Structure 1
Amino acid sequence: MILRILVVFSLVISSSYANTIAFDYCVADPTLPHGPTGYSCKDTTKVTAHDFAYSGLRKPGNTSNVFKFGASAGFVDQFPALNGLGISMVRADMGVGGAVPIHTHRVAELLIVVEGTIIAGFINTNNTAFYKTIEKGDLFIIPPMLEHFQVNVGKIPSVVYASFASPNPGIQAVTGALFQNDLPSEIVQKITLLDRAQIKKLKRMFGGTN
């Protein structure tokens, strides 16, 4: 019994430290090799207070596109001090009637509305849609890897901040996956049941070929 308790306790302790880092920080050095666990660390003697501040979310995203949506990212590639810390953030701007197209990330996402009124939602693996109208100051959580979206349903441009449980959460938009590559249109038609002419139009719009 005691041995079993010790084994369970050691597993709990190990898992609780699984996401910690061996040093105070590991500011990414993108000039060095990196892999699935992150970037290599910048020489600590060259780290300054400047490394731990980032102003990239001050600027609104460019909403002059078909979705009226623009984003400013604060991921590890933009903010190297996030390396190994399991967190990041993005700013999403939507014009009136704009939308964040349906997409996925590898990790959970927590939204907070800073300006405006939006519908935020996701679709689970049973194809059940969960969506709600949220306003300034409201939060909305999106589970990992599920297709999700936001739509500005207010009368003013909206600003939403999203935090992620990863310094590099990844993103894959459905429109990009289907229409920004060289996948032949006849295959896209087979797997989506979209009209061939519409597929060609969307490929031209989003930069795809074939």
Structure 2
Amino acid sequence: MDVKSSIKTSFFFLILLFCVILFFTSPCYSDPDQLQDFCVADLNATTTFLNGFPCKPVSQVSSSDFFFVGFHKEGDTNNIFGVGVTAGNVLSFPGLNTLGLSMNRVDFSPGGVNPLHSHPRATEAGIIIMGKVLVGFISTSNVYYSKVLDEGNMFVIPKGLVHFQKNVGPGKAIILTSFNSQLPGAVVLPTTLFASNPEIPNDVLATNFQADETVINSIKSKFGSA
């Protein structure tokens, strides 16, 4: 066999090996298809630990498991950020278990801000229901993207990126957001950094923000009840 034929043969077997590996390992890095119609979360289960929640027995599932009425009520905006988030995720809506989606209602008082945060497990899409809202996010290249949106406008935040929303209209504002995760998680930077339990040492924060420790203490005092 000449060199050219040998290279072709080696390349063929390399592709074949790759396809075999891909076929047998793909379940390890992607969500499998559902094996049943639904898996309503048993939030009280204590004996099973998995990526999600165990299913209720079908005999215990009722119509109420598939309907959520939490978005009809305005969220509480009486806080330092002037924002109220009503979460429609698997913890409040067990019927979402294994379905890979959830939604939030976000209410803003005038000038209210949904503070800098990220969702480690989901991309976010949203629509402005009422008011005028500035939406912005920062890429891993440290580029800031933003736009002021009116009622009916939609936005998307790529998975894991730091972002915020601010009410820039004269009155209240409401947005509805959706996620491709039943429990997207939220890392809220101000409270994560300045109200963690246990606390991040002051000298670490002072070095990170190039500020005096007295400044760090002052900021921490504002977030004690956030």
TM-score > 0.5, shorter chain as reference: yes
Deviation at 1:18, TM superposition (A): 3.7
Q: Which residue of 1 aligns with 2:112?
A: 98
Give a deviation string over 1:106-154, Cα, whole Å, max 9, x none.
2100011000011111100000001111111111000000000011111
1:8 shift after superposition: 10
Look up the match of 2:222.
205
Does the alignment pair 1:184 with 2:201? Answer: yes
* Residue 22 (1) aligns with residue 39 (2): no
Residues in 1 aligned to 2:99 and 2:33: alpha-carbon distance in whole angstroms: 8
- In our comparison, the structure showing a higher alpha carbon Rg is 2
Q: Alignment identity in percent?
A: 35
Counterpart residue identity of residue 61, structure 1? G
Greater Cα shift, 18-27 or 128-137: 18-27
Unaligned runs of 5+ in 1: none
1:149-178: CA deviation from partner (whole Å, max 9, x where unpaired) = 011111111000110000000000110111
**8 Å CA contact retained: 1:60, 1:71:** no
- Judge conservation of contact 1:96–1:154 (CA < 8 Å) in 2: yes
One-letter amino acid matched to 1:105: H
SS at match of 2:42: coil
Calculate the TM-score normalised by the size of structure 2: 0.83
Q: Which amino acid aligns with 1:194?
A: A
Give the TM-score of the pair, scaled to structure 1.
0.89
Number of residue pairs aligned between Structure 1 and Structure 2: 208
Separation of aligned partners in 1, 2:218 and 2:22:
59
83 and 197 in structure 1: CA distance in 2 versus 1, 3 angstrom threshold = same
| 2:154 paired residue number | 139
What amino acid does structure 2 have at the position aligned with 1:24?
D
How many angstroms apart in 1 are the aligned matches of 2:50 and 2:124?
A: 20
| Structure 2 stretches lacking a partner, 5+ long | 1-15
Larger helix fraction of residues? 2
